Structures are given as C-alpha cells and as structure tokens.
Amino acid sequence: MIFGHISQPNPCRLPQAIERALEFLRTTDFTTLEPGVVEIDGRNIYAQILDLTTREHHQNRPEVHRRYLDIQFLAWGEEKIGFAIDTGNNEISESLLEQRDIIFYHQMENESLIEMVPGNYAIFFPQDVHRPQCHQHKESAIRKIVVKVAVSELI
C-alpha cells in the first residue's frame, strides 16, 4: 500500500500507469462530473466516480482484487479505510473474482486504519486487503474516486 496526498510530489518514480492515474486525479475537477465511469486508457486504466455515505466499520466487508490495483482518492468528506496484507488466512465471505475482480472476506488479520481527508489517496495492490467507506466520527457523505489500474500495465 502507498499513502499520500495529491498535492505532494512523489519522492520516487512509480510505474507509468500509476503516474498516469495520479495525473488524472491531480488535473480533474470532480465537482463538474457526475458519478459513473471515466476511461483513462480503456479498461487498462479507468476511474469510478462514487458518491457514498460512510458506515460503521463492521458494516463494510474487507475486499481484495487480483487483476487490478485500486487507487482510492477522496475528493470531499472524511473516511477511514482499514488495510492489511493478505495473509491467506482470511475466510472468504463472497468471491466475485471472475465477474467483478473482487473477493470479500468476513474479517482480516492485523487490520490497521488510515484516516482519509480530501486530497488523500491510497494505492492498494493485489496483496493488500482493504475495507473502505468507514466513518471517522459519524455517518457522512463522501465523493470518492477509485482508479482501477490493470496489473498487466505495471510491467
């Protein structure tokens, strides 16, 4: 996992596909876009613009992806995201790997939390379990952009 703020330059060069996704986040005015999907490079790199309401931690299932990494960016609101390395010991709640590239777990081992404020992004790789959309203090509306980057584009 990589955590940062969109206004800060990266201290090291990331793969070109990730740099392209971060540039999209830096240069897009998300107040002018409706929720939905924006293709950046076809299905290799695309963004999901989501208007959500945060929920209590236990109401959100931990998830992992295998074909795409997630760059989760908070445009407005506040959110906590749980994360941990996938140990292989997490019990699967639901597998939609073929249909949607997602596996849900009941819980995750060694979960830590990060607090997201507008401008923060977190990059979750296939080995990173994450539990997004948790509230910090109370239920609140957020706008989140999830950029999906195909793992095949990182080579």
Give me the CATH number covering residue 39.
Answer: 2.60.120.370
Give the per-residue pLDDT at 10: 77
Where the chain has pLDDT below 50, the residues are: none
Give the per-residue pLDDT at 115: 96
Its domain, for residue 34, covers 2-154
Closest-CA residue to 148 (of 6, 35, 44, 42): 44
Give the per-residue pLDDT at 52: 97
Cβ-contact 144, 17 below 8 angstroms? no
Give the per-residue pLDDT at 88: 92
Give the per-residue pLDDT at 50: 98
pTM score of the predicted model: 0.95
Total structural domains within the chain: 1
Give the per-residue pLDDT at 86: 96
